[in-house]
Amino acid sequence: MRYFPLYWFVRNRMFYRSFLPIRDQFDVILCTSALEALSLIRLREEVPLLIMVNDNKLVNAGRDIWKKVKATGLSRSSSRYLYRRLEHKICTGARMIITNSDFTSQQVIEGYDLAPGRVMKLYKAVDLKVFQPKDSSTREILPLVPRLLFLKNDFRIGGLDLLVEALVGWPTGVQFDLTVAGISPNQVAVVEKMLEPARPALRNVRVKSLLNREEVSRLYHEHDLFINMARQEALGVSCLEAMASGLPVIASNIGGLPEVLAEGKAGFMLPLDAEALRECLREIKNKPALLRAKWPAMKEQVAKFSRVKMVENLNAIIRKALRQ
One digit per residue, the tens of pLDDT, for the chain of length 324 reads 444 566 767 777 888 888 889 888 999 999 988 878 888 888 888 889 999 998 887 787 655 444 443 444 445 556 777 888 888 988 999 999 999 999 999 999 999 999 999 999 999 999 999 999 976 544 557 888 999 999 999 999 999 999 999 999 888 777 899 999 999 999 999 999 999 999 999 999 999 998 899 999 999 999 999 999 999 999 999 999 999 999 999 999 999 999 999 999 999 999 999 999 999 999 999 999 999 899 999 999 999 999 999 999 999 999 999 987
Claim to verify: residue 99 and residue 177 sit in the same structural domain: no
Claim to verify: residue 281 and residue 259 sit in the same structural domain: yes
The per-residue pLDDT for 60 is: 73
The per-residue pLDDT for 72 is: 45
Contact 28, 50 (CB under 8 A): yes
- Expressed as residue numbers, the domain containing 89 is 5-125+307-323
Claim to verify: residue 154 and residue 76 sit in the same structural domain: no
Considering the domain boundaries, does residue 12 fall inside one?
Answer: yes
The per-residue pLDDT for 303 is: 92
Claim to verify: residue 146 and residue 86 sit in the same structural domain: no
The per-residue pLDDT for 187 is: 95
CATH number at residue 247: 3.40.50.2000
pTM of the predicted protein model:
0.88
Considering the domain boundaries, does residue 239 fall inside one?
Answer: yes
Claim to verify: residue 273 and residue 187 sit in the same structural domain: yes
Claim to verify: residue 290 and residue 316 sit in the same structural domain: no
Claim to verify: residue 65 and residue 177 sit in the same structural domain: no
The closest of 114, 69, 64 to 87, measured between CA atoms, is 114
Using CA atoms, how far residue 207 sits from 143, 157, 216, 252, in Å, is 21, 17, 13, 22
The per-residue pLDDT for 73 is: 46
Claim to verify: residue 171 and residue 298 sit in the same structural domain: yes
Considering the domain boundaries, does residue 131 fall inside one?
Answer: no
